[in-house]
Homo-oligomer: A and B are copies of this chain.
């Protein structure tokens, strides 16, 4: 049986390059279409993309010709699944056109995340939300599944086992976000060297709303938000990759830091049971050193090798006396791997393993 043919929309940007890199030797998927903006159409990928990863561009894809992000061109290439890393201004319309043309869209863009029949998915956290695609499939032929914002994703993974075991009442998070989260050209060096920018547009709102959908339930065809109070303060710092987040939370049942740390490091879920190719052995790695996680040392952590950058690394789990049943910890999540391309590929693997595609 051959591999599933896939396309990458917005393949030349920094998240697009993460897809290209991650799919170079994927056991289940084969890239047959790469799209980019009009100016790049017809060029070879190696000419269209200003490659920024330290691993070399995969030779096969370097020679592929860029196509337009239209359903006909994508379907013409034979692709069934498309990964979307489109710019937000075109994502909404294009992704829906693809779904209506019968394609299966996995998007790490924000356009459709909060749509009532679109799953906002982290396979380890809420794989049961995938059921929502059936409604879409009936309506459109194809469907859209989205992955969350890069800031939400590590937070949601770290909270899930705590939610299961102790319940969560309140979460307050301060983020220290990496530069790559704004795209390769997003943050000028003059703006951030020896500096912090304590603002990321719409980010705090996204963290709060997305987290509630992800940690909520899908019942009788409807998503229902989790009953948790969530507040965020988001900041850009001078780090290349890896979002660090300082989390304060109130659990429903009392829990010691050791119990919380243990439930996190014991946590496994559907992608681990299904042995998906991109699933990390453990979704959460808990470190015991007093000064970890650190982005440069931990952002690519995770075993086995193939799972690099897919695990959420947690450290400094400790009591927070200023809150009732208070706990605080620090987490680190690779924002362009788990926070974007890696999570989307894991979603696609999940779709295949469960026979949805």
Contacts and interface: CB of A to CB of B under 8 A. Distances in A.
A238 B236 CA distance: 12
A180 interface: yes
> Max chain B CB contacts within 10 Å: which of A14, A190, A320, A330?
A190
A174 B240 contact: no
Interface in A232-249: 233, 235, 237-240, 244, 246, 248
A127 B323 CA distance: 30
Nearest to A200: B291
Interface residues of A, dominant DSSP: mixed
Nearest to A180: B190
A280 interface: no
Interface in A204-239: 208, 229-231, 233, 235, 237-239
A235 to B, nearest CB: 7
B316 A231 contact: no
Given A199-B290, A320-B231, A194 B295 contact: yes
A1 interface: no
User: Quick one: copies of this chain in the complex?
Assistant: 4
Contacts of A28: none
A189 B239 CA distance: 9
Nearest to A56: B301
A195 interface: yes
B294 A171 contact: no
A231 B322 contact: yes
A132 interface: no
A237 B316 contact: no
Contact of A186 (B174, B188, B233, B246): B188
Contacts of A300: 54
A322 B170 contact: yes
28 contacts: A54-B298, A170-B323, A172-B248, A184-B188, A184-B191, A187-B188, A189-B189, A189-B238, A193-B194, A193-B296, A194-B194, A194-B240, A194-B296, A195-B239, A195-B296, A195-B297, A197-B294, A198-B246, A198-B315, A198-B316, A198-B330, A199-B291, A229-B321, A231-B248, A233-B330, A235-B244, A238-B238, A238-B239
Interface of A: 14, 52, 54, 170-172, 174, 176, 179-180, 184-199, 208, 229-231, 233, 235, 237-240, 244, 246, 248, 290-298, 300, 315-316, 320-323, 326, 328, 330
The 4 closest A-B pairs by CB, nearest first: A231-B322, A174-B174, A229-B322, A199-B291
Given A176-B176, A188-B188, A229-B321, 14 more contacts: A52-B191, A54-B296, A171-B322, A174-B174, A174-B233, A179-B190, A185-B188, A189-B192, A198-B291, A199-B291, A230-B322, A231-B321, A231-B323, A248-B248
